[in-house]
Amino acid sequence: MSVLGQSYYLSCRTRIGRVTARAMLGALRRIGACRSFKLPLDALSLPGPATSGLMKLWSRLHWMGEDGMMPPDQLLAIYRLTYTWPGDGDVVELGSWTGLTTCYLATACASRGRGHVYAVDTFAGTKEGGTSYDAVARHGGTTWPAFRRRMREADLEGRVTALVGDTVEQAKAYPGNPIRVLLIDADHSFEGVRRDFEAWWPHVAPGGLIVFHDYAMPEAGVRRYVDEIVTRRDDVEVSPGCVHPNVFAVAKELGVRGEARVIREAVAEVSALCAATMSGAVRVGEGLAPVAGA
């Protein structure tokens, strides 16, 4: 990692560093610069502790990641959801590969000061129809050593527990707290998403968030299952919705009218943040109100 990159990450872990970087970025973007270099700069639009957490992570792992399955903009969208979604409870990731997304989920929990991540995977490159990703051969048939190495390099071993095995089977013996955020990113077939959703739904806390990745993948069954089944359930709040073209999130209904109002307000806040980022409306230093704790 370059000296410039390390200096940027180190300075942005402090309040004065973030304020300075936001001002500089705002000035540069007003003249049309730095609009394509997204992730390390757009992270400045997050609340202070969330930005600081990412800078700490990126000082250990390059922000582009290595052999990760998720593009940077989608990682940031899911990180934002995981950090900002209210409530207590743990985070469960179905489908972890080499642990890049896991690091973002764990960093979000660490930045909030609470929550544990359970990463569920066979680590054998399992995909739809009992097949495996060809890329798993590069890892000797299992990504488990790469996953463990990444957790160690990110200094997140104490924040992550791996549940090795089939996602549905692991749901039967889930050892964690009620789930605040569930990320479904394993078997992308219609039937696979259905199995995962139904197996893990009972563990999701009232008001908890369920995030579906690869919503826009044309050959997958994620979008069809979400649109035809999930969004038609009476016990699901269809919000925040599509926070990124490839990421769709819903909330489990609380069932209590007063508390339901709280979650609707949280949904509105998160949706506004995500929509602003997707549309390019979040321009740090261009009239963006300061965030508490920044």
Q: How far apart are CA 171 and CA 163, in angstroms?
A: 9
E-strand ranges in the chain read: 90-94, 117-121, 160-164, 179-184, 204-213, 236-244, 247-252
Task: Please give the pLDDT value at position 169.
Answer: 98
Is residue 68 pLDDT above 90, yes or no? no
- For CA atoms 232, 244, 200, 262, the dihedral sign is negative
Q: How many CB atoms lie within 10 A of CB 20?
A: 13
Convert the pLDDT of each residue in 29-57 to its tens digit: 788 776 655 556 677 778 889 989 998 99
| Separation between Cα atoms, residue 68 and residue 7, nearest integer Å | 25
pTM equals 0.80
Q: Give the integer Cα–Cα distance in Å for 188 and 186.
A: 6
Contacts of 130 (CB under 8 A, 6+ apart): none
Domains and CATH numbers, the chain: 63-279 (3.40.50.150)
- 94 — phi, psi (to 5°)? -100, 110
